[in-house]
Structure 1
Amino acid sequence: MNKWLNNIKLEGKLVKLEPLSLHHLEGLTDAVKDGDLWDLWYTSAPEPSSVQSYIETAMDEFANDRSLPFAIIRTSNYKIIGTTRYMHADAKNKRLEIGTTWYSKSVQRTGVNTECKYLLLQYAFEELECIAVEFRTHWHNLQSRNAIERLGAKQDGVLRNHILDKYGCLRDTVVFSILNSEWNTVKKSLEYKMTKRYLGL
């Protein structure tokens, strides 16, 4: 089987992304403990005791060409600070979603998310030649919704009573996307924001 999503490494000034594996187990467990992320009801972060099965499930999905999970590593100290992935990959229609993203509390609002998303979007549009890249989040996760909008994504709609959350409650899912025709503008905007962050402006 010819895979569309292959093991790749992406690197910027603040972070580098490498394919998630059990090699990252200890570091990712420490990352999820930073802020007790699993305790936030609207996030996808696993409990510390479940990180191994979380990684193994992600690796299985990669083997079936459905996703490509990454460990997010801070370049300044090589510490694992979170995870993200390409998911719901559709090679025929050249679409995928960027999701299941979470960061240690100590690195939130430090610019790592902007650079991480920039690297993922750049590869998706310029190497995978995607027609569209989606983002989805919980209706009540306003922090995530605002972060997605700041990237330049546009809201496509809301899927009412879409899926059951980890507590068994039906959630509404907000869907955003960026089209390939929009990428050049989004790219320039993100590069401007990152340059300001690098310069401390």
Structure 2
Amino acid sequence: MKAPILENNNVKLTLLDLSNYKYLETIAQEKDLIYYSPSDISTPEKLKDYVQFAVDGYNHKTAIPFIVYDKKKKVYAGATRFGLINWKNKVLHIGWTWIGSEFQGTGLNTNMKFLMLQYAFETLEFEKVEFRIDERNNKSRRAVEKLGATLEGILRKDVIMKDGYRRNTCCYGILKAEWSAIKQNLKQKINH
């Protein structure tokens, strides 16, 4: 499996691996950046372990991790990933997304998700893309809802967080049949 390069005028997504993750060390240490994630990237060692786990997923064809480059600001902004890739059922998850605070609210995330959704539906020809979000993470839930994803249900107390809290996980999805309308809507957003 060769990792794609996904890019437009605003963002470039390339394979995140042990050769480039150090560009993210400063951003990864921002306070509460991934508060609603069970992962820990708070130290250079923990970030390296996080990336190694993503690389292992890539090697097993269950994940494609990306490093995010903001083309407007000409700097690395964070990371995102296709994960839990189910090639048989043509379903994957988009998640493990974090970008530094200076990039939040700039439209960068919408550009990233547009490129990823387009690749999932049009190149991989998958049938469904899912997003799983901590029920308490209203900012991420609103962002996914703005993309056009539908809340399909809530998994109760299914993930243990770093502090021992058992979170409820909101499951959102976009179906291939919905992509055409969502694509038009997102194109308008990213071209403004």
Q: How many residues align?
A: 190
Percent identity between the two aligned chains:
35
| One-letter amino acid matched to 2:97 | T
1:147 corresponds in structure 2 to 143
SS at structure 2 position matched to 1:22: coil
| One-letter amino acid matched to 2:108 | V
| One-letter amino acid matched to 2:41 | P
Question: Is 2:102 the counterpart of 1:114?
Answer: no
Kindly state the Cα deviation for residue 37 of structure 1 after the two structures are TM-superposed.
3.9
1:123 corresponds in structure 2 to 119
Runs of 4+ in structure 1 over 3 Å off: none
| One-letter amino acid matched to 1:136 | R
**Per-residue CA shift, 1:39-93, capped at 9, x if unaligned?**
x531346113311111111101110111000000111343111100000100000
1:11 corresponds in structure 2 to 7
* TM-score normalised by length of structure 1: 0.90
Q: Which residue among 119, 133, 137 is the counterpart of 1:137?
A: 133
* TM-score normalised by length of structure 2: 0.94
2:100 corresponds in structure 1 to 104
**Contact residue 45 and residue 102 of structure 1 kept, 8 A:** no
For residues 67-86 of structure 1, the aligned pairs below 5 Å read 67-86=63-82
Question: Is 2:11 the counterpart of 1:42?
Answer: no
SS at structure 2 position matched to 1:140: coil
1:199 corresponds in structure 2 to none
SS at structure 2 position matched to 1:23: coil
**Per-residue CA shift, 1:84-135, capped at 9, x if unaligned?**
0000100000000000000000110000000000000000000000100000
Question: Is 2:85 the counterpart of 1:89?
Answer: yes
Structure 2 unaligned blocks of 5 or more: none
Structure 1 unaligned blocks of 5 or more: 197-201
